[in-house]
Copies of this chain bind each other. A is one copy, B any other.
Amino acid sequence: MSQLIKRFSITDPFWKRYEDLLSDVVVPYQEAVLRDEVPGAEKSHAIENFRLAADVIKNGKEPGGFYGLVFQDSDVAKWIEAASYSLIRHPDSKLEERIDQVIDTIRDSQHEDGYVNTYFTLKEPGRQWTNLQEAHELYCAGHMIEAAVAYYEATGKTVLLETMKRMADHIYDLFIVRKKPGYSGHPEIELALMRLYRATGDKRYMELSKHLTDVRGQDPDYFVKENAEKGWKIWGMDPELREYAQNQCPVREMTKATGHAVRATYLYTAMADLALSTDDEELKEASERLFKNISEKQMYITGGIGATSNGEAFTTDYDLPNGTVYAETCASIGLIFFARKMLDLKTDGRYSDVMERALYNTVLAGMQLDGKRFFYVNPLEVIPGISGVVPDCRHVLPERPGWYDCACCPPNVARMVGSLAEYAWSVKDGTVFSHLFVGGELDLSDTLGSKIKVETRYPYGETVRYTVEGNPVSLALRIPSWSSTCLLTVDGKKTDVSAEDGYQYIKCKKEAVLYLNMAPRYCYANSMVASDSGKAAVMRGPLVYCAEGTDNGGDVIGLRFKDGGRLESLPLSDDLMGTVKVEAEGFREKTSDELYSSERPKYDPAAITLIPYYSWGNRGKNQMRVWLPVR
């Protein structure tokens, strides 16, 4: 996977800042949290769990001392993965040394049969593999496999890779050789095994991934039976909630995204990956159906998915409430994984558009601009005093907390930012695909004999300039569906844009320049979306905008867009780490004392200041709204 990360050095102001933040702040901060060195943050104990487990395995100590959730190990895995990406662009021998030490500890915690998991080593020895529904063993293994592959690809070091190959072999033996029935409660292992297969070339890992994907839902009662037999529990999750766990039917028969949105998208990612790698038409069609259902019926304008906190889950078509929403950061990351694999299956702007939407809005909103605080839930409407307070909105926090007891989102954002190149680019049959517009230099000297330099101030600037050095390049440039007009010059010649499926295929000797339409625009939801009836949102380029109290005299709920009103981009400012705000022509409803009145509301004209959604919640608690009523 990290081949493109190595080849692509990011230079544009927007992403360079994030990349530096990853190395300077996020990775060290998350390491400190994992080592329990951040005062005030939730206790993690995740690295200490491995140390204690190594003591059990290596030194024969008594099991005990586990702290955290059953999937605490995965926090270490995701941090190693993010740190691996960071090391590629920001070599740091001390960090690498510390990671090596952690990896040695992980290796030392491995059982003789290859098994790695601190929860079962320390807290529930002997109960391995008896609770696939709840215990996240395959999930933790999957994340550590991803970490192992990333660290190997970044550094060439194989300790963690060998460790996790042994774990994968253990799982292979269990499910393939010894034919244990069942599948993972939380998908992740399936996509991780595909990465391991590609890193090692060992087809058994693909076989195992395919097995764990295909066996899912073949017996929709598997968790019910497991539950009846196991005699212990972690949370006591209901095994009958099949849609929650995506085991209501075999994956090939699925027509609608259901259940826990992170589990769902991780599963769908593996399905799309397997569809391509095994050339499986049925799996491809199922993946396409699921992608279509999400992107056309169950996705917020911000690329958020999972409308309810109850199960952190998809609900049903067009049910997209703004204030009680879940839209977990990790779920949008999962959606990006899924979209990226769909893009490998078929080059189509529908996939890159969704990838971009989720990345620039929900995923970036998941992290405070300084990289230190994180959102789990990404609401489209926040009212302090209600959000985070009343029961139905208790999960909707108006400010990012520093860490979570269930800390899946922060390191997930970190690894997404760190591997951006893999989403921005792909190379296939000699054609270089530019999926996302990120400034930097892509070095393909060894394969195509070319370097491609990209200069842009995206997502704020409208120009994306590709300069080719060396051999001419076949380029496929994504033409975003949101850019109503696009100009393109190739080697100085104006070229008609007639993007097939969202991509413009060109041959470029020296320079191609793409001019996107960056005029801010109103967006409207489908009339079936009850929560957005009569409302509009504003977008500019890939960015969804929102109104925040700070810029609008405190009150945002009383603001209305003027129907067809003027939208104006303000000059790029240093505010919010560099942003283009948008001003919208609108109104402010005059306040009154009465709860209900038959007097027509009065309005004052108001210039509404909008900021990019990803930057909300960086200036203290205040009202925020993406969808404003139009009058």
State the A residues within 8 Å of B (CB).
Answer: 295-297, 299, 301, 307-311, 313, 315-319, 321, 323-324, 381, 383, 385-386, 389-392, 482, 484, 521-530, 533-535, 539, 555, 557-558, 560, 563-564, 589-601, 628-631
Q: Report yes or no: B323 in contact with A526, Cβ–Cβ below 8 A.
A: no
| Contacts A/B (CB < 8 Å), 18 sampled | A296-B594, A301-B596, A311-B391, A313-B391, A315-B392, A316-B385, A321-B323, A324-B392, A386-B530, A392-B392, A523-B596, A524-B599, A526-B591, A527-B590, A533-B560, A534-B535, A534-B560, A534-B630
A557–B525 Cα distance when bound, in Å, is: 12
**Which of chain B's residues have a CB closer than 8 A to the CB of A526?**
591-597
Please report whether the interface of chain A is mostly helix, strand, loop or mixed according to DSSP.
loop
A584–B15 Cα distance when bound, in Å, is: 52
Q: Report yes or no: B539 in contact with A595, Cβ–Cβ below 8 A.
A: no
A309–B558 Cα distance when bound, in Å, is: 27
Q: Report yes or no: B390 in contact with A527, Cβ–Cβ below 8 A.
A: no
**Which of chain B's residues have a CB closer than 8 A to the CB of A318?**
386
User: What's the nearest-Cβ distance from chain B to residue A245, in Å?
Assistant: 15
Contact of A530 among B309, B557, B594 (CB under 8 A): B557
Nearest neighbor of A587 in chain B, beta-carbon distance: B534
A323–B324 Cα distance when bound, in Å, is: 11
Q: Report yes or no: A296 in contact with B390, Cβ–Cβ below 8 A.
A: no
Q: Report yes or no: A316 in contact with B592, Cβ–Cβ below 8 A.
A: no
**Which of chain B's residues have a CB closer than 8 A to the CB of A631?**
534, 563, 630-631
What is the copy number of this chain in the assembly?
2
Nearest neighbor of A484 in chain B, beta-carbon distance: B598
Q: Report yes or no: A591 in contact with B534, Cβ–Cβ below 8 A.
A: no
Q: Report yes or no: B391 in contact with A527, Cβ–Cβ below 8 A.
A: no
Q: A297-B595, A524-B598 are known contacts. Are A386 and B533 too (CB-CB below 8 A)?
A: no
Contact of A524 among B324, B383, B601, B628 (CB under 8 A): B601
A599–B564 Cα distance when bound, in Å, is: 11
**Which of chain B's residues have a CB closer than 8 A to the CB of A530?**
323, 381, 383, 386, 557
**Which of chain B's residues have a CB closer than 8 A to the CB of A296?**
593-595
A591–B528 Cα distance when bound, in Å, is: 8
**Which of chain B's residues have a CB closer than 8 A to the CB of A535?**
534, 629
Q: A321-B323, A381-B530 are known contacts. Are A390 and B307 too (CB-CB below 8 A)?
A: yes
Leading 6 A-B pairs by shortest Cβ distance? A534-B629, A310-B391, A315-B390, A527-B589, A527-B558, A521-B598
User: What's the nearest-Cβ distance from chain B to residue A310, in Å?
Assistant: 3
**Which of chain B's residues have a CB closer than 8 A to the CB of A630?**
534, 631
Q: Report yes or no: A386 in contact with B592, Cβ–Cβ below 8 A.
A: no
Q: Report yes or no: B598 in contact with A316, Cβ–Cβ below 8 A.
A: no
User: What's the nearest-Cβ distance from chain B to residue A369, in Å?
Assistant: 26
Q: Report yes or no: A600 in contact with B391, Cβ–Cβ below 8 A.
A: no
